[in-house]
Chain A
Amino acid sequence: MTGEPARAGRPTRAPDADPRLAVSVQGVSKEYALGEERVVALANVSLNVDRGVFLALAGPSGSGKSTLLNMIGCIDTPTRGRIVINGRDVSGRTPDELAALRARTIGFVFQTFNLFPVLTAYENVEYPLQHLPEIGRRERRERVLHFLDVVGLADYARHRPNQLSGGQRQRVAIARALVAHPQLVLADEPTANLDHRTGRNILRLMRRINRATKVTFIFSTHDPQVIRMADRRVDLEDGEIVRLGVRARKEWSYAFERAAEPPAFADGETQPGR
């Protein structure tokens, strides 16, 4: 026990949890039934992600990037294996417990921005906080204005999504992902619907926030230009991790390929699995 009150959405700390880890993916597989055929989206993937890293999940379409992100984001459940988020095993949690966990721990940035068209930029950012009763109205307002300012959209608070450009919409989505002070932000192809320059600016913004707040960012992409902006990379192919790299200055150094053991990042070093 951690001494924290047992409550919905606060899964108890896994007994073997490493406090340095933001995410621990342990032997996770995901299989789908497609008619009579079984499709393996992830095959026994293990991965430990340290807190505060800026990690890219790289790979071609169908490699399992989005599936792995969905598992880490607790919006999909693995067929086998377990996932530990922020020291807490999320296996076997009810949908409402997972919802509460996501609301307080995980921020999401989507490829298609996924803003609510009927809400203004301010209200879109405020939306996740409306389900956190511990945050009062004043604090809510302060946080929303702060993060709109962080993403450079303080002057666009009253704009609806259809009055914003693609880049601006993604900035609103980033502010929304951060407003609940999550420990982890997951971004699925955050630049795929943006032009190259806007996409790069969005990534720079995310990295700047990552450095300033030490919030862990995990994003998926197949764009080499975007991968280059990460400081960690995990390459997937056919549902397996095939490469794990750390960027030192402008060069990637690869610790291994086709890792058989759980790979890990710790203290700025690439390590083989523990």
Chain B
Amino acid sequence: MRFLWTIPWFAIRNLLREPRRSAMALAAVTFGIVALMLASGFIEWIYYDLRESTIHSKLGHLTIARPGYLEAGRADPFAYLLPADTAALQRVRSTPHVREVAPRLYFSGLVSHGETTVSFVGEGVQPSLETDLSRAVLIEQGASLRDDDPKGVLFGAGLAQSLGVRVGDTVVLLANTPSGGVNAVELVVRGLFTTVSKAYDDSALRVPIAIAQTLLRVQGAHAWIVLLDDTSNTDEVAKVLRQELPHDRFEVTTWYAQADFYRKTVSLFSKQVGVVRLIIAAIIVLSISNTLTMAVLERTGEIGTSMALGVPRRRILAQFMAEGTALGLLGGVIGLVLGFLLALAVSAIGIPMPPPPGMAHGYIGQVKVTPDLAASAFVLATVTAIVASVYPAWRASRLAIVDALRHNR
């Protein structure tokens, strides 16, 4: 076994004797890895952007509500109100990794402007706590809400268009109260916003939570939206809060449990990336297999000589597999470096993308190369290269010595 070190050394020398062919195989592996990194990196960035936009526009990382609110709250929203401020809220705020906890009061009703009346879904928010939490809510016109503004309302751009309102216009909101009556408030449009979801922008408006409470004649909120320092801490903090908060009074739900669109997008794109991986694996297999098959054909005489000199079949097998593996490793490393540099360059320039279906605006795409992505690309290169070299190597090791030696003549 101590002579195994000679195998890679011999493999590299053999690869260098046909530099053009080896370079072609390396180029195929490198191209495959670069293509995979860019394609997967772009998809990864879409996941990232969609995830963070979803979190920072509506959901936060965690939603704390009364048990059952997310499933049945729409039918009887007033039965699921959280208190305005409690020790539980303080406990949530002091939990590690928690950056912000903002109350949300959800409601719906009719909004009128002049002769036009349309339905809306509204969110009462505390503007001072929403700066980071709602950073994906883009103010297209006007300004954000303020805590001390008793008349302000933000309109989704689509809703504003339906109603024909502009910044500075006065509107009237009508909503049901818990007693069954109807209440109304007159507000001034402070700004128009867009989010990742056009459907949301077409029907949503936001008011300071105090206005929403006045309109609905309630106290408290339907949910506490929790923003964390990092999305990767979601599960950990959710677990802590589920342990600390009484189960009968509070339910902790993660963002991804509510982000149906995100989950379906990930599922769809993951399958597409899987197809890309298969294609790239096929390119690598064909390329390395072709290179090694040619090598076996050309070096048949040498294989015969090696076997005549007493080299066992397994060593011949290992030799050719080492050459395939070396191509995969080297191509993988070059591909990683090149892919990473190209990803940086593409991200710096940006990829202008039109608005996807169901979204309000286009975006500038980037390529996000994560450690997992780089590792999987490298593993794909090497494992595929090893698999591709099995058959040529096996063929080489099974050659009849006498027949192989005739190739030298």
Contact = CB atoms under 8 A, between A and B. Distances in A.
A76 B312 contact: no
A188 to B, nearest CB: 9
A104 B310 contact: yes
A114 B3 contact: no
B247 to A, nearest CB: 66
Given A114-B302, A116-B302, A118-B14, A131 B310 contact: yes
Nearest to B314: A96
Contacts of B14: 118
Contact of A131 (B10, B304, B312, B401): B312
A114 B402 contact: no
B169 to A, nearest CB: 82
B408 A102 contact: no
Nearest to A73: B308
Contact of A108 (B3, B10, B309, B312): B309
A117 B314 CA distance: 22
Contacts of A127: 306, 309
Contacts of B312: 95-96, 99-100, 131
Contacts of A51: none
Contacts of B365: none
B384 to A, nearest CB: 26
B6 A114 contact: no
Interface in B210-266: none
A131 B311 contact: yes
A114 B408 contact: yes
A232 interface: no
A270 interface: no
Contacts of B17: 117-118
Contacts of A119: 10, 13
A99 B409 contact: no
Interface string A92-135: 00011001111110101011101011110000000110110100
B408 A103 contact: no
A169 interface: no
Interface residues of B, number: 29
Nearest to A176: B309
A75 interface: yes
Interface in B259-318: 301-302, 304-315
A130 B409 contact: no
B313 A95 contact: yes
B3 A102 contact: no
Interface string A124-153: 000110110100000000000000000000
A70 interface: yes
B405 interface: yes
A75 B405 contact: yes
Contacts of B314: 96
B2 interface: yes
Contacts of B3: 130-131, 133
B308 A112 contact: no
Contacts, number: 74
Interface string A151-181: 0000000000000000000000000100010
Interface string B371-409: 000000000000000000000000000001110010011
A101 B308 CA distance: 10
B310 A114 contact: no
Contacts of A111: 409
B302 to A, nearest CB: 6
Contact of B401 (A76, A96, A116): A76
Contacts of A112: 301, 408-409
A6 to B, nearest CB: 18
Contact of B405 (A103, A106, A110): A110
B313 A96 contact: yes
A118 B313 contact: no
A189 to B, nearest CB: 10
A102 B304 CA distance: 13
B15 to A, nearest CB: 9
Contacts of A99: 307, 310-313
Nearest to B311: A131
B310 A75 contact: no
A131 B315 contact: yes
A114 B307 contact: no
A219 to B, nearest CB: 15
A75 B25 CA distance: 34
Interface string B131-160: 000000000000000000000000000000
A123 to B, nearest CB: 9
A232 to B, nearest CB: 23
| Residue from A70, A76, A111, A118 whose CB has the most chain B CB atoms within 10 Å | A118
A33 B305 CA distance: 24
Given A103-B310, A118-B10, A133 B301 contact: no
Given A75-B308, A99-B307, A119-B13, A114 B405 contact: yes
B19 to A, nearest CB: 12
Interface of A: 70, 73, 75-76, 95-96, 99-104, 106, 108, 110-112, 114, 116-119, 127-128, 130-131, 133, 176, 180
Top 3 closest pairs, chain A to chain B, by CB:
A103-B310, A118-B13, A114-B305
21 contacts: A75-B307, A75-B401, A75-B402, A76-B402, A101-B310, A103-B311, A108-B308, A108-B309, A110-B305, A112-B409, A114-B301, A114-B305, A114-B405, A118-B10, A118-B17, A128-B310, A131-B310, A131-B312, A131-B315, A133-B1, A176-B309
Interface of B: 1-3, 6, 10, 13-14, 16-17, 301-302, 304-315, 400-402, 405, 408-409
Given A70-B402, A133-B2, A133-B3, 13 more contacts: A75-B401, A76-B400, A99-B310, A100-B310, A102-B308, A104-B310, A108-B305, A110-B405, A111-B409, A112-B409, A118-B13, A127-B306, A131-B3
